[in-house]
Structure formats: C-alpha cells, structure tokens
Structure 1
C-alpha cells in the first residue's frame, strides 16, 4: 500500500526546510507581481492568479510557523 503524504508526520527539521522553501516562493511571487505592476499593461487574470497563490503560500507559512512555535500563555 502506498503511504499518503501527511504533514503531521513531518519532523521539525522537515517543517523548517519546507517553511524556507515556501518563503522563497512567496518572495519570488512578490517580485513577479512588482515587475508586472512596474511595466503596464499587464494581464489582470495572471495578476489575480499570482496574488491568490501568494495568499495561499502565506496561509501555509503561517500554519507551519504555528506548528513550530508552541503557544505560550504569558
């Protein structure tokens, strides 16, 4: 039987590695969006897709950060 991917089985080291990869992709999208804005006219649909992908990455980054940093009630 094939083992399915399960984020909860990742080690902290694997999570940190994936976090860095997602952060790099997020920065790359930010750069691509900025280049498009600086050189109009640009494809609105492509811009929307890039922004949506960037928001999805931000959510995934936040989820991983939450898993790596325990909640400490002060």
Structure 2
C-alpha cells in the first residue's frame, strides 16, 4: 500500500542520493563543517529516504495517517 507519491517521491529520491554521497564526495568538507563521523549517519538517513522513494512507502507516515499519493 503506497503512501508516498508525486513530488514527495521525487524530493526523497534527490535528497536521498545527495545525502548518500556526503561521506564519499566531500570528506574535507565534512571536516570543515565539523561533521566528523556524522557523515556516515547522514548517509544512512539518505539510504532510508532513497528506499522510501523507491518502494513508495514510508513507515513514519502510518501512525499519522499521512498519504501524499493520489487517492485510489
């Protein structure tokens, strides 16, 4: 049962990819920004966002009854 759709899905995909790349692309930027080992946590959050975009399901939406997809 999908609860992620349209713009929400596209934004999750884009932000997810960007967050996944943070630990790999910009290690020097991480040091300058003071991220340190937080870069890997940010990457993990990006992975979750990417997976929710791919599967069109966000478990965090369920308790609140949120659906951003078109009504069926």
TM-score tier, shorter chain, comes to 0.3 to 0.5
Q: What TM-score do you get using the length of structure 1 for normalisation? A: 0.47
Q: What TM-score do you get using the length of structure 2 for normalisation? A: 0.48
Larger-Rg structure: 1
